[in-house]
C-alpha cells in the first residue's frame, strides 16, 4: 500500500464508512492514524475533546496523515448516552468560544436548515422522491423551518451517534470522528441524540445537566433537526444499498412524526 510505503507504518484498517482510519504500528509504537482528517483536529486535541494529537505529516501522494494516541476503550452503549458525562461534554463543545473561533479559522461551514434541505434534495433518487412518507415529512419540514440566529451558531459535531463516543479504559470520555463538524444551531446535535437515545420523559433532566431548560420551542426545533437527519440518513443508506438500515430509519422517522402529532 502506498500509504504504508510513504509513512513507514504498518496499517491495519479500522471499520468505518470512509475507509480512511487505521491502527498504525511501528516497532513498539501503536497509534491511531487517519488520512485527510479535518485541520480542526488540533484544536479538539488541545481541549481534550479527542485523544491527543501526536503529529501531522504530508505523505508522498499528497494526503495528510494524522496520528493520535491509541487508547484502549469502547464505544458507548445505547443506555449510556443518557449519562451526565455525555451531556456535560456536549455542552462544553457547544459553548466553547475557542472551538468556534478555531473552526471558523480553518474554514468551517455555517449550516442552516435550508442548507440541509437543499443537500437532501440534491440528486435525490426517484423512488425516495416518490415515497409517500418521505415526501410528506419533507413537505412538513419545509413549512416549519426553524429560525436560525447567526449569533447562536456553535460548533456542532454533526454525527453524535454512540459509535463516535469513546470511553477509555481510564474512564475518560471522548467524542471522535469530526469529519462532519460544522457551525450550526446546537439543536441539531441535541435533536439527533435525544430523539435517538433518550426517552422523552428524561429530556428535561438530561438538558438540565447540559445546562439549558426544555421549552416547547426547543422541542419543536430538536424534532425538526432529528427528522431532517433521518431523511439524510435514509438517502445515504439508499446510495450505499444498505436497504435494511434504510427501512429501519424510515420506521423510526414514522414513529418520530407520529409522536409529534
Per the DSSP assignment, residues forming a β-bridge with 154 are 184
Is residue 17 flagged as an active site residue?
no
For residues 28 and 98, membership in a common domain is answered with: no
Q: Which of 41, 70, 99 is the last residue of a domain?
A: 70
Q: Which of 11, 46, 70 is the last residue of a domain?
A: 70
CATH code of residue 124: 3.90.1200.10
| Structure-block grid coordinates of residue 180 | 462532519
Express as a percent the part of the chain with pLDDT over 90.
76
Q: Which of 70, 101, 119 is the last residue of a domain?
A: 70
Distance, CA of 150 to CA of 138 (rounded, Å) = 24
For residues 203 and 175, membership in a common domain is answered with: yes
Distance, CA of 11 to CA of 158 (rounded, Å) = 27
CATH code of residue 60: 3.30.200
Helix 187-197 × helix 203-210 angle, to 10°: 140
Instruction: Select the more confidently predicted residue: 16 or 22.
Output: 22
Distance, CA of 186 to CA of 95 (rounded, Å) = 9
Distance, CA of 110 to CA of 155 (rounded, Å) = 9
For residues 96 and 10, membership in a common domain is answered with: no
**Domain interval for residue 14:** 2-70
Question: Looking at the predicted structure, is the pLDDT value of residue 90 above 80?
Answer: yes
CB 151 within 8 A of CB 238: no
Question: Looking at the predicted structure, is the pLDDT value of residue 6 above 70?
Answer: no
Q: What is the largest CA-CA distance in the chain?
A: 59
Question: What was the pLDDT predicted at 1?
Answer: 42
Tally of domains within the chain: 2
Question: Looking at the predicted structure, is the pLDDT value of residue 7 above 90?
Answer: no
For residues 17 and 136, membership in a common domain is answered with: no
Candidates 63, 127, 159, 199; catalytic one: 159
For residues 65 and 98, membership in a common domain is answered with: no
Express each pLDDT in 20-37 by its tens digit. 788 888 877 888 888 878
Query: Which is it for strands 173-175 and 165-168: parallel, antiparallel or unpaired?
Result: antiparallel
CB 6 within 8 A of CB 59: yes
Express each pLDDT in 165-215 by its tens digit. 999 999 999 999 998 999 999 999 999 999 999 999 999 999 999 999 999
Amino acid at each position: 500500500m502506498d500509504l504504508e510505503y510513504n509513512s513507514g507504518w504498518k496499517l491495519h484498517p479500522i471499520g468505518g464508512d470512509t475507509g480512511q482510519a487505521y491502527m498504525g504500528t511501528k516497532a513498539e509504537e501503536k497509534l491511531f492514524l487517519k488520512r485527510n482528517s479535518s485541520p480542526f483536529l488540533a484544536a479538539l486535541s488541545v481541549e481534550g475533546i479527542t485523544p491527543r494529537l501526536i503529529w501531522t505529516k504530508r505523505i508522498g501522494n499528497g494526503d495528510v496523515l494524522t496520528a493520535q494516541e491509541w487508547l484502549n476503550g469502547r464505544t458507548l452503549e445505547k443506555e449510556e448516552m443518557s449519562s451526565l458525562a455525555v451531556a456535560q461534554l456536549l455542552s462544553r463543545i457547544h459553548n466553547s468560544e475557542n472551538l468556534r473561533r478555531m473552526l471558523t479559522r480553518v474554514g468551517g461551514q455555517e449550516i442552516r436548515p435550508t442548507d440541509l434541505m437543499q443537500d437532501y434534495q440534491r440528486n435525490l433518487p426517484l423512488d425516495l422522491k416518490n415515497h409517500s412518507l418521505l415526501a410528506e415529512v419533507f413537505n412538513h419540514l419545509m413549512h416549519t423551518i426553524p429560525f436560525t440566529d447567526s449569533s447562536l451558531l456553535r460548533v456542532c459535531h454533526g454525527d453524535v451517534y454512540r459509535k463516535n463516543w469513546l470511553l477509555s479504559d481510564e474512564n475518560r470520555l471522548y467524542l471522535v470522528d469530526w469529519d462532519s463538524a460544522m457551525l450550526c444551531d446546537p439543536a441539531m446535535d441535541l435533536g439527533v441524540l435525544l430523539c435517538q437515545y433518550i426517552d422523552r420523559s428524561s429530556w428535561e433532566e438530561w438538558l438540565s445537566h447540559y445546562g439549558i431548560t426544555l421549552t416547547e420551542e426547543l422541542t419543536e426545533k430538536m424534532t425538526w433537526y432529528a427528522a431532517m437527519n433521518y431523511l439524510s440518513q435514509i438517502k445515504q443508506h439508499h446510495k450505499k444499498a444498505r436497504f435494511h438500515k434504510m427501512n429501519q430509519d424510515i420506521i423510526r422517522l414514522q414513529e418520530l412524526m407520529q409522536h409529534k402529532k
